[in-house]
Amino acid sequence: MQFAIFGNPSAAKANLAEHNLFEFIHSMGDTICIESDYYDYLTKVLECNVNCVSVFKDNNFEADAIISIGGDGTFLRTASRTADKGIPMIGINTGRLGFMADINIDNTKQALQLIHDGKYTIQKRSMLEIVMNNIPANCSRYALNDIAILKHDVSSMISIKASVNNEPLVTYMADGLVIATPTGSTAYSLSVGGPIVFPETNIITLTPVAPHSLTMRPLVLNNDQTISLSVTSRSHNFLVSIDGNSFSCPEGTDIEIKKAPFHINVMKPEGYGFFSTLRDKMMWGADNREN
């Protein structure tokens, strides 16, 4: 196999043990190619001797699988950048929680050996696409986790007029609205009261942030539906966040959110299932009461 390596330089600085996996990959008879910025950091800043078949820029690479080394933020950036190639992704966690990047650095060799031996499954993860004017050039219009419409920090709540497939839905009076994929259901959406969703389910969730009315509850839609939004605000602007990358917009900006035309393939070694990750990473179902 050939693996394409994407990494987070700050995570690399914090945990040099991850670089041992390159030699392990070679020991299995596999090869690696490395994204150029990450390669420069490894070789010039950390002065590591990295054996790879090529160094690539942009998306000019061929591989059987992509390895993202860092945390969930690195995984999201890599997914957004490479989604249209359809190459399966593996997330190795050198950060804190690591829900999507769920292979801990200490278990990397075991996980990669399982993948090398063909003991893995491929999960299809849907993405969202936002259609609107004036998206910054450095910001992708595709989200693996969520797209959030939010008030500016110092402003009062915003008004978000929503419709689904051109049918009026409701006007949210709230601090914001989180539109999440099943993968993103355990991220921002969960923190504001959204449901946990099995990652391969074909749905989109809408969860208001601090709504003014108790009747504003999370809503679940099929992911073949198109959500249209129009925002008004006393400050005359608001924030759009695409997988955590935020930018300001003027009120009245028309926004359309729908399922992206491609999906992410996530490679899971045997033993790395969704429910085990929920239990291990998020302590889901744990009862800490004394007997």
Residues acting as catalytic residues: 72
Q: Is 106 helix (H, G, I), strand (E, B) or coil?
A: helix
Q: Which two tokens stand for residue 114?
A: 């399982």
Phi–psi pair at 29, nearest 5 degrees: 90, 10
Contact 270, 191 (CB under 8 A): no
Q: Provide the Cα torsion 278, 282, 284, 288; round to 10°.
A: 150
The long-range contacts involving 135-143, CB below 8 angstroms and separated by at least 24 positions, are 135/247, 136/247, 139/242, 139/245, 139/247, 140/80, 140/81, 140/242, 140/243, 140/245, 141/242, 142/80, 142/83, 142/242, 142/260, 143/80, 143/181, 143/184, 143/242, 143/243
Beta-ladder partners of 166 = none
Rounded (to 5) percent helix, strand, coil in the chain:
25, 40, 35
Contact 24, 112 (CB under 8 A): yes
